[in-house]
């Protein structure tokens, strides 16, 4: 089996990288703690297997993911990989707490430092965020910066954060600017209005939720904007659809589990693992430049590569694309 990772161009940024990228939320302790040694082993294995796109954020483990990713990448030739991170949250010891690390009273990220993510979309906040990310990473150049989860801050993102990122792009500090969100409606607004180069859409284009296909992805295709798809397993349920699995960072409902069981049955009829279909279905869309998959072990990196190259008969795509029950479950 040919496991070579094809190279892609991320839209008008001109950046060339692997079609499969490593998402680093798990390295920040998403749902469960990950040791320093294990996190480093994940990044090492990703590099060994040809992955050259690495996505991180200050939020992921309150700086842990950036530090752990940087420890490995800082030893690699800088021009051989694409590094993306996010802005809009600063890590502080005090301030108005962003509730993103809390779900029904339980922290999403485990084993994090005693810091709190504080929203700041101002120009000064954007500059500080990038400077602090570079320091945590130990890498002096970030290729792409996404405004991270401005769901309740559309105007601040449009009026303050994105103009500052565009200024940094014009100054050749960044190669690409965009937004990363778990929704597609606001991302479509940014594509229409804000001169972005790239969007990271998490969980809204997948086997179980294809809502980005109705507006966002056609817009990206029309305007030459790179779309990077994250959350292709919808935070876990499409990778391991058992009771207790997570969907959108919360325990999956029975309705979601039943739906995933139907999808797994369709895949099984064609002899294809659900995980392979989940990765490759997303990649098939002509607007999707690259796919991010998170991993918390070297074995999960290997599995993502294997699933990304698993032979899939055209009949499966016909069956899945003809199954039009879309939208959030």
The catalytic residue positions are 60
Q: What sign for the dihedral angle of Cα 192, 188, 229, 157?
A: positive
Helices in 118-235 by DSSP H: which ranges?
123-137, 154-156, 162-170, 185-193, 216-223
User: How far is the C-alpha of 113 from the C-alpha of 104, rounded, in Å?
Assistant: 20
Within its chain, how far is the Cα of 99 from the centroid? 20
Helix/strand/coil for 258: helix
7 is written with which tokens?
Answer: 């190279």
Q: How far is CA 41 from CA 36, 73, 96, in A?
A: 9, 12, 35
Q: Which two tokens stand for residue 102?
A: 């809390």
């Amino acid at each position: 089996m040919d496991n070579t990772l094809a190279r892609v161009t991320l839209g008008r940024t001109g950046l060339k990288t692997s079609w499969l990228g490593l998402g680093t939320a798990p390295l920040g302790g998403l749902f469960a703690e990950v040791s320093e040694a294990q996190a480093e082993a994940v990044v090492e294995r990703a590099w060994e297997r040809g992955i050259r796109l690495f996505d991180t954020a200050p939020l992921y483990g309150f700086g842990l993911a950036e530090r752990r990713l940087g420890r490995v990448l800082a030893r690699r030739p800088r021009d051989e990989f694409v590094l993306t991170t996010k802005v809009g949250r600063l890590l502080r010891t005090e301030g108005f707490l962003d509730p993103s690390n809390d779900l029904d009273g339980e922290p999403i990220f485990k084993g994090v430092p005693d810091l709190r993510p504080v929203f700041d979309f101002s120009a000064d906040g954007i500059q500080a965020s990038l400077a602090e990310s570079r320091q945590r990473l130990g890498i002096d150049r970030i290729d792409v910066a996404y405004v991270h989860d401005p769901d309740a801050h559309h105007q601040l993102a449009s009026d303050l954060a994105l103009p500052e990122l565009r200024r940094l792009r014009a100054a050749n500090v960044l190669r690409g600017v965009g937004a990363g969100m778990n929704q597609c409606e606001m991302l479509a607004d940014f594509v229409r209005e804000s001169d972005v180069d790239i969007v990271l859409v998490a969980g809204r284009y997948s086997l179980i939720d294809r809502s980005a296909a109705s507006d966002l992805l056609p817009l990206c295709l029309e305007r030459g904007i790179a779309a990077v798809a994250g959350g292709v397993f919808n935070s876990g349920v499409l990778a391991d659809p058992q009771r207790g699995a997570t969907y959108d960072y919360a325990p999956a409902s029975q309705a979601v589990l039943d739906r995933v069981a139907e999808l797994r049955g369709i895949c099984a009829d064609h002899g294809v693992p659900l995980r392979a279909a989940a990765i490759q279905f997303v990649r098939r869309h002509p607007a999707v430049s690259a796919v991010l998959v998170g991993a918390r072990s070297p074995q999960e990196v290997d599995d993502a590569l294997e699933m990304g190259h698993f032979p899939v008969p055209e009949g499966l795509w016909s069956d899945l694309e003809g199954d039009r029950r879309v939208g959030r479950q």
